[in-house]
Amino acid sequence: MSDGPVRKEKDSMGEMDVPADAYYGASTQRAVLNFPISSLRLGRPFIRALGLIKLAAARVNADLGLLEPRIADAIATAAKEVADSKLDKHFVVDVFQTGSGTSTNMNANEVIANRASEIMGGERGSKTIHANDHVNLGQSSNDVIPTAIHISALLEIEERLIPALQRLQIALESKSKEFWDVVKTGRTHLQDATPIRLGQEFLGYGGQIERGIKRLRRAQEELSEVALGGTAVGTGINTHPEFASRVCTVLAQELGVAIRESDNHFQAQSTLDAVLEASGSLRTVGVSLQKIANDVRWLGSGPRAGLGELALPEVQPGSSIMPGKVNPVIAESLIQVSAQVIGCDAAIAQAAQGSYFELNLMLPVATYNLLEAIELLASASQNFTERCVEGLGATPRGPEIVERGLMLATGLVPAIGYDAAADVAKEAARTGRTIREVAREKTDLSEDQLNQLLDAAKMTAPRLDPGPLSG
């Protein structure tokens, strides 16, 4: 509660003192006093979505003859200010509040009503425009908040996350082409395996991101179905039968993304299934990014005592005590983001279990974690692309050690069989010699045959060209 001047506002429970300069009213002030839990607030993308919903609702209600045009215009103007972040400081309710998000919906209704009242020539608190009767007409917190969750996540994925991932995919595929001629030793179980092109490794990374984007597109399809129109429990009480479908049409046209009214409002309001699926897609992207970041930092480990196959951009000193040390900090940052996204998904899974009868009662915490995961993945992906991937270089280290790789013996198998090739590999490991050197001694293969069979570059693609094995 502010120590400054106040005004009296009234809701169904009676009068409340509200800061004189606040656009919110009594219901919001009660929530401020009831939930002094944290410093966390539902963020800009969600407030934007709320503003857009209220704006479209006012226009549709006017078209349906349910609101006077001048009232609808004032609400639309105020709601546009909310959507455009001009009134953000008046959204003051803690994330950890009523499980339906009613306090945040009323925060929006009151801010828009008071601002619209001013636009109409009234004063804040005058109820020239009423938060419930006018701004919330045809709506309930129980369908507005789930709808705002879907729309905010849908837009953030479309406008921020997918573009960031597309740029990362392009960067990885570009490095794949750049590194295609670099033949190195593959690794499985952290042990030497058959040769692979460094470009093939990066082709795999690019493929992970490409498929992650496809998963997000499927999540968007789920998120495009919204609960608006169900009002209190999914039955649509106190709303016009055409209200929700018309609002969805307005929003889709304004935003350029698919938004449609659910054909089953009872599931739309009583579960977080679509949000949980979207969160799972975000978690998958996070885990993919962690794999890529870990590979990059391991391949760049060293520079003398590690693998040293990649040269990472040097962006900052790595130690307060060891001069000259440079660490893979951009990759480490991305790995930490992945961990946070996995934590967000765990919180959303818990929230999804908070669905009882006709309503989920953990909507605000699900909203916060879903949007945080999207924001973190978008920012970290963009940063990883710009400050790490685009500046990666290949060192000579990978190609230099291919000839000493024990798993070159795999190339001998079609000609001499698995057991004989294993004997060659074990002898090479025991003596420190190369596969080629031991094969010259232990097999009847000619030099030309050895050159063919042990050509590391040819071992990076499917082939099986020697003659039949002897019995």
Could you say which of 12, 39, 189, 470 is catalytic?
189
* CA distance linking residue 318 with residue 347, whole number of Å: 34
Could you say which of 2, 38, 85, 319 is catalytic?
319
Q: Are 228 and 245 in contact (CB under 8 A)?
A: no
90 is catalytic: no
Q: Where are the extended beta strands (E) located within 4-109?
A: 6-11, 14-19
Q: Are 43 and 371 in contact (CB under 8 A)?
A: yes
| Cis preceding-peptide flag for 364 (omega within 30 of 0) | no
- The H-assigned helical ranges of 359-410 are 363-387, 397-400
CB proximity list for 101: less than 8 A, separation 6 or greater:
141, 145, 363, 364, 367
Q: Are strands 393-394 and 310-311 parallel, antiparallel or unpaired?
A: antiparallel
Phi, psi of 261 (to 5 degrees): -70, 140
2 is catalytic: no
- Rounded to 10 degrees, the C-alpha dihedral 47/49/52/53 comes to -110
Q: Are 290 and 335 in contact (CB under 8 A)?
A: yes
DSSP state of 392: -
For residue 162, give the amino acid letter.
Answer: I
The two structure tokens encoding residue 450: 């050895």
Residues forming the active site:
189, 319
